[in-house]
Amino acid sequence: MQPGSVLVFCMCISVFLHHAISQQPTETDTYTECTDGYHWDPQTQHCKDINECETIPEACKGEMKCFNHYGGYLCLPRSASVIPAPEPPNQIPPSLENTASEPFNPCPPGFEPQGDSCVDVDECEQDSHDCQPSQQCFNTEGSFSCQCPDGYRKVGTECIDIDECRYRYCQHRCVNVPGSFSCQCEPGFQLAGNNRSCIDVDECSMGAPCSQRCYNTYGTFLCRCEQGYELGPDGFACNDIDECSYSSYLCQYQCVNEHGKFSCVCPEGYQLLGTRLCQDINECETGAHQCSDGQTCVNIHGGHKCVDNKSCQEPYVQVSDRCTCPITKPGCRDMPYSIVHRYMSITSERSVPSDIFQIQATSVLPGAYNTFRIRSGDDNGDFYIRQINNISAMLVLARAVNGPREYVLDLEMVSMNPLVSYHTSSVLRLTIYVGPHAF
């Protein structure tokens, strides 16, 4: 080995030792490091808690809420509430306290001497416990315990509100409050005696706004109406139904709407038959007419007529119930021998063809041949004669007619016998009154 190499090695060692000696700490250095969750406060020269709820973005996720805690933080449900503890008073560390001033205690911790014996110390009464303001202190033998009030649970040193609603204590709705909860019911229900279950409310017995009938149902009620009424849009009021506007066939003549019902009325001269039909009043039978003694009352549809008993006109003369024209009078040569007056009434709009009156001969000579015809009164051809046999015929209504209207038809029966050159005729003068209605 060359001498120059040894010299270089020695110089390096000397430099290293000088550098190591110069790095030794001095007595003026201070310790400024803090544990996790704290940072050094140069003003107070102490470690100060870090509020992670402010420094950490979105410290708690989802439905959790951030609560700062000494040296860290808590993620609790948003419904939770934390009663913070007051800042602890500045105390001298136990290691620095002047223990020389405290009297000697020969009893175990939690006990104090009393005479020759040791008795339990009530830390709760002497306020020598360290329970948080949100906690309740309970004295025990030789110690004490810190418990949370009802409705709270202990998390670390804090009392956190219990969200009872998460346990579904309520039948319908639950409202959590600090330290407790309350149950609420849906509309139509009320709380039962246990303050948790919900029972149905009978709205009908509590003045439900139904105008007529009320029916209680589970959780609500229904309004119903009497017959003849219908429920309004609001579901409470009952409005009258105008039955007459629904159909024109409810009444034979006229429908009259009333509250909750309807009634049928008939025109003058008619009376109600049942509830909807109209029946003609026979004034001649009831005595409601004004005919004199020399007149005959003839009932017609909707009224009556008074006709004179003696209605024969020249050259006819009254014989019993008919008018006769004697063959001895010159004016009777071409006239019917006898005229009999009859009266009848028919309704309007009668279906056709319709048999309305039968003609019957009262006396017939042997060997006579009889024919029937309408002699006069049917200018429009509303009727015709249908002969049944040698002694009877039927008057037929050929066309529908509307009243009030009056026809006077002379229905003639012609009798003849060719063997004896016999020829004669008789007339039935039929007055037909057509009523104003179809009933």
Q: Number of C-alpha atoms within 13 angstroms, CB side, residue 9?
A: 6
Beta bridge pairs of residue 198: 191
- 430 with 408, same domain? yes
Higher pLDDT, 100 or 111: 111
CA distance 24 to 325: 176
Q: Please check whether residue 29 lies inside any domain of the structure.
A: no
Q: Please check whether residue 101 lies inside any domain of the structure.
A: no
285 pLDDT higher than 60: yes
- 195 with 219, same domain? no
Is the separation of the CB atoms in 78 and 64 below 8 Å? yes
Q: Which long-range contacts (CB under 8 A, 24 or more apart) does 251-255 make?
A: 251/276, 252/276, 252/277, 252/278, 252/439, 253/278, 253/437, 253/439
Q: Please check whether residue 89 lies inside any domain of the structure.
A: no
- For 64, the token pair is 């959790």
- Domain end point (choices 148, 175, 200): 200
SS3 238: strand
Question: 325 is in which domain, residue-wise?
Answer: 317-435
Average pLDDT over residues 306-321: 88
Q: What is the CATH number of the domain that holds 377?
A: 2.60.40.60
**With bands split at pLDDT 50, 70 and 90, how would you rate the model's confidence at 48?**
confident
How many domains are contained in the chain? Answer: 5
Q: Please check whether residue 66 lies inside any domain of the structure.
A: yes
Question: Model confidence over 112-161: pLDDT tens digits?
Answer: 888 888 898 898 988 888 888 888 899 998 898 888 988 898 888 788 89
Exposure of 316 by Cβ count < 10 A (0-12 exposed, 13-18 middle, 19+ buried)? buried
Q: Please check whether residue 408 lies inside any domain of the structure.
A: yes
Our measurement of the distance from residue 352's CA atom to the centroid of its chain's CA atoms, rounded to an integer in Å, reads 53
Phi-psi region of 235 (alpha: psi -120 to 50; beta: other; left: phi over 0): left
- 331 with 428, same domain? yes
Q: Please check whether residue 356 lies inside any domain of the structure.
A: yes
- Domain end point (choices 75, 103, 134): 75
Question: Model confidence over 1-38: pLDDT tens digits?
Answer: 433 333 333 233 233 323 333 344 444 445 577 888 88
- 413 with 340, same domain? yes
Question: Model confidence over 157-185: pLDDT tens digits?
Answer: 788 899 989 888 899 999 999 889 999 99
- 350 with 375, same domain? yes
- For 131, the token pair is 């329970």
- 392 with 365, same domain? yes
Q: What is the CATH number of the domain that holds 188?
A: 2.10.25.10
- 333 with 426, same domain? yes
Q: Where do runs of H (alpha helix) occur along 294-404?
A: none
- 128 with 183, same domain? no
CA distance 116 to 110: 16
Q: Please check whether residue 391 lies inside any domain of the structure.
A: yes
Q: What is the end-to-end Cα distance of the chain in Å, rounded? A: 159
Question: Model confidence over 185-234: pLDDT tens digits?
Answer: 999 999 999 999 999 999 999 999 999 999 999 999 999 999 999 999 99
- 222 with 169, same domain? no
Phi-psi region of 234 (alpha: psi -120 to 50; beta: other; left: phi over 0): alpha
Specify the pTM. Answer: 0.56
- Domain end point (choices 51, 75, 99): 75
- 189 with 147, same domain? no
- 127 with 196, same domain? no
- 125 with 64, same domain? no
Q: Please check whether residue 224 lies inside any domain of the structure.
A: yes
